[in-house]
Amino acid sequence: MQMPWFCLIVAGLLEVGWAIGLKESHGFTRLWPSVATVVGLAASMALLGWSARYIPIGTAYPVWVGIGALGTAVLGMVLYREPVTAARMACMVLLVVSIVGLKLTSGGLETD
């Protein structure tokens, strides 16, 4: 896998981590979850920014958001017993299709 795409996927996974960290920090009132959230956010944004140098921003940003949204929704269901409904599952399938579609149609890597 090309390094920009690998970094973009890691950035998306870090987005999942900091989104869950927001919940665990209880509005930034708990120290260590708050620290982890801020560090995860900074790392996620840095990797997204670096990836966007090589991947079109119209692809990089939606893929990053999609990975974050999908992962956060899944962990919300697993960790916090959020509702698992057919409609939510269908929407998550659409997110996966969108992420894969953007990857497949993004074309070649851009250069600086």
List Cα–Cα distances, 108 to 3, 50, 57, 102, 105, in angstroms.
13, 16, 13, 12, 9
Length of the chain: 112
Which pLDDT does position 112 carry in this prediction?
45
Cα 106 → chain centroid: 18
Over residues 23-43, the pLDDT tens digits come to 999 999 999 999 999 999 999
Over residues 54-109, the pLDDT tens digits come to 999 999 999 999 999 999 999 999 999 999 999 999 999 999 999 999 989 986 55
Which pLDDT does position 111 carry in this prediction?
47
For the chain, the domains span: 3-104
- For residue 110, pLDDT over 90 is answered with no
List Cα–Cα distances, 14 to 9, 31, 87, in angstroms.
9, 19, 26
- For residue 15, pLDDT over 90 is answered with yes
Which pLDDT does position 41 carry in this prediction?
98
